[in-house]
Amino acid sequence: MNRETLNFCDQLNINVVEVAHGIAQDASKYLEYAIDSVVARVAPDGFINSQLLETNQHAVHSLAWIATYVEVLLRTSDWADCLDRENRLGDLDQSMLVVIFGEYLQQLKNGIPMNQVETARPVDLGLESRVAECLSSNDIAQLENISANPDFRLAAVQQLSEREFESPIMGDETLDLVREQFRRFADEKITPHAQTWHDKNDLVPLDLIQELGEMGVFGLTLPEEWGGSSLGKLTMCVVSEELSRGYIGVGSLGTRSEIAGELIASSGTHDQKNQFLPGIASGEILPTVAFTEPDFGSDLAHLKTRAELVTRSSGDSVWRIFGAKTWITHAVRADLMTLLVRTEPEERGYKGLSILLAEKLRGNEKHLFPSEGMSGSEIEVLGYRGMREYEIGFNGFEVPAGNLLGDAPGQGFKQMAQAMESGRIQTAARSVGVARNALELGLRYAIDRRQFGKSILNFPRVYGKLLLMAAETIAAREVTYFSAREKDSGRRCDLEAGMAKLLAARVAWSNADAAMQIHGGNGFALEYSISRVLCDARVLSIFEGASEIQATVIARNLVNSRL
Amino acid sequence: MQKIMVALKRVLDYNVRVRIKSDGTGVTTDGAKMSINPFDEIALEEALRIKEREKGVEVLVISIGDLVCQQQLRTGLAMGADRAVLVQTDQILEPLTVAKVLKVLVDQESPELVMLGKQAIDGDNNQTGQMLAALWGRPQATFASELLIKGEQALVTREVDAGLETIEVDLPAVVTTDLRLNEPRYVRLPEIMKAKKKPLDIISLDELGVEAISQFQVVLTESPPERQKGVIVKDIGELLGLLRKKGLV
């Protein structure tokens, strides 16, 4: 342990890990009161009243954020505890634990920024008296004091800058090996090109995709019998994080394979698995997800694209598709769409939806969508390039009747739910990777940039940013890993996955924004990587379930657990 | 060619900023990332390329150290080695003892080729390969930047002060590898899963009958002196003046 930090914790004679553990338990009590408060507001009659849920949206979403913060306290204290037991708890780790507890407890008591313009405060849930009861212990005051102490902060940022280029070590042989390989791969084959790909709006080169396929990225979680590696979601997180740290466009390639792979592996018929999974695993089949429509994004229950079963003159049956889909990532290159359509026109809402495994021809710059009955155009975007976004129209596009996922009409929404859980974990991991990239860029610049005769890292307003950026990156990472571990243990984790995605997306954005601020005018110049990372980070709280939708899902889940 | 033996040393990762212990007895490795010595990794990569060119070659990886060294051996197996042996000891061994250990294993395994890094990035000793060749009574080709197997011989290009030197050695032989020999591959996820099922045997130093001898002692480990502040000069004249004043020209 560093001498300066030793002073703080030893002089006060506190064991930070133990103290943190106790505080997390107190905070869990506070969360229970928060749930009580929202239950009383939105479910006075023992079931969730949709109208009340909407009227009280700010309070409901405040609950989601409180729960997410309490989750951070629980997961980071577990993380430190685990490092401590394995004798691997370093000086920087302890400092980070102090920073995250110091800051998050203050925010729980005084207001959590859901974003820059909306704050979740105790008063929104009538919890002022509970703050005094649960969040005002001596232990909490002590951690807050250490965290705010300028000498502690200076010592902590010195540890941070010394350890700048190290990856987290998880103490698991396989995971550490996987991380090392993909970190090296990103450093050598992605990072040097990311800025060019973004500037030119280039698609990620096909040979890189092929190489990632050979490394096993696309079949990571698929069973070995279908050409996958049977690895868990936690390994997927590590891989996604490291690739996204290089470039979000590369780290996101696997999202589509993950979702399509999971859909087919869990709901597909044997023939469908046989037909598609080995190709998805090797990267020969590039899939894309086609759920969203121009008029229906988060409100999928109302989507209108319809599929009609017709018998052709040759005698075989096909689905004919009519309608439009939008925000279809990598659509021109994709070979397979998981297409959410209404197959039961008389059924309203979720019940009439099915998923079709729709094969299409790859397009090129001249003919974007050569398949019959399909047309579309590119949606130009601020960031998250590398695969490009498209809007697609279907006018009689055909899918063989046998390509109805699981041969189960009307099951689309149910089939989708589980795969989306995996997609959310993967998105949280991508966000952690982007957050790390921003942190590293900000830290590197702060060390190198000299103003007023010294490195700007020495200014409290610069290192204050970096300390919280680093601590929140760990917070987001630990919540993400926890949700992956839950999923790997066969438990439902939509609550944890939602919290991971909600937090990690905000952290990626705030890290990018703060890192740009540290860059000053240079950060605003297109030639500096942080300008791209800022654009890339912005999408994370929008796609794969916008933060506001995520907050509703989390809060509903918590309220339902009481009913 | 039937068998290649490759020695892998566990060292502090080259990206880690090394920190000296406060009492000067060495460097801290607690909680820091550890890796295969990069020169050894290059040796393994070359062995795997030979295996891929010439069918039926077995690649055996060896490490010497405590149980955590299994991690580096698993990495070697995931890269493509067939089998691993860990010689377990808690002691820090000097190059001569390491060479003796390898010699015992060479006698047991009878490889046609033993490959290892020209040096490890921790101690920078650059002795083990040479000592092994002497103990074994076989040829050595050090600092290899190119390696070609031709039947019973190996053609090795070496990086020497004067440039590149190509020598021919009879097999069995010891080859130590330099940085430019190759670029090690990325480990593929399916290979990581396969590596879990490959054999990794652990034998103790005592069982091998090798006694650890200690011939030198580390007196002090310290950081290099901090770089002094420089001065900016206007022109060559001023530069020469300053250098003369310091007696450097």
Q: Which residue of B has its CA nearest to A83?
A: B31
Catalytic annotation present for A54: no
Q: Does B33 touch chain A (CB under 8 A)?
A: yes
pLDDT at A5: 47
pLDDT per residue as tens digits for the range B134-171: 999 999 999 999 999 999 999 999 988 999 999 999 99
CB contact under 8 A, A176 and B196: no
Q: Which of A4, A188, A544, A548 is catalytic?
A: A544
A45: Cβ–Cβ under 8 A, 6 or more apart, which residues? none
- HEC string of A398-448 equals EEEHHHEHHHCCCCHHHHHHHHHHHHHHHHHHHHHHHHHHHHHHHHHHHHH
CA distance B1 to chain A (A): 29
Mean pLDDT of A70-78: 98
CB contact under 8 A, A180 and B186: no
The beta-carbon neighbor of A177 closest among B15, B16, B192 is B192
Q: Does A295 touch chain B (CB under 8 A)?
A: no
Mean pLDDT of B74-95: 96
List domains and CATH numbers for chain A.
3-163 (1.20.140), 287-410 (2.40.110.10)
Chain B CB contacts of A215 under 8 Å are: 186, 188-189
Q: What is the largest CA-CA distance in chain B?
A: 69
Question: How high does pLDDT run on average in chain B?
Answer: 94
Higher pLDDT: B16 or A388? It is: A388
pLDDT at B29: 83
pLDDT at A7 over 70: no
Q: Which residue of A has its CA nearest to B74?
A: A173
Mean pLDDT of B31-47: 94
pLDDT at A299: 82
pLDDT at A12 over 70: no
pLDDT at A4: 45
pLDDT at A454: 92
Distance CA A106, CA A144 (A): 8
Q: Does A209 touch chain B (CB under 8 A)?
A: no
CB contact under 8 A, A163 and B196: no
CB contact under 8 A, A177 and B193: no
Q: Does A216 touch chain B (CB under 8 A)?
A: yes
Mean pLDDT of A334-343: 96
Higher pLDDT: B208 or B228? It is: B208
pLDDT per residue as tens digits for the range A266-298: 999 999 999 999 999 999 999 999 999 998 887
Instruction: Give the CA-trace dihedral at A61, A64, A66, A69, to 10 degrees.
Output: -130
Q: Does A90 touch chain B (CB under 8 A)?
A: yes
ipTM of predicted assembly, 2 dp: 0.86
Tokens representing residue A541 in the block: 């709280």
Distance CA A472, CA A368 (A): 41
Reduced to 3 states (helix: H, G, I; strand: E, B; else coil), residue A362 is coil
CA distance B155 to chain A (A): 31
**pTM of the entire structure?**
0.93
pLDDT per residue as tens digits for the range B104-120: 999 999 999 999 999 99
CB pairs < 8 Å spanning A and B: 63
pLDDT at A164 over 70: no
Mean pLDDT of A299-317: 90
List domains and CATH numbers for chain B.
3-245 (3.40.50.620)
Mean pLDDT of A123-145: 95
Model confidence at B224, in pLDDT bands (50, 70, 90)?
confident
Q: Does B71 touch chain A (CB under 8 A)?
A: yes
pLDDT at A1: 38
Model confidence at A3, in pLDDT bands (50, 70, 90)?
very low
Question: How high does pLDDT run on average in chain A?
Answer: 94
pLDDT > 90 fraction of chain A, expressed in percent and rounded? 87
Q: Does A220 touch chain B (CB under 8 A)?
A: yes
pLDDT at A8: 61
Reduced to 3 states (helix: H, G, I; strand: E, B; else coil), residue A472 is helix
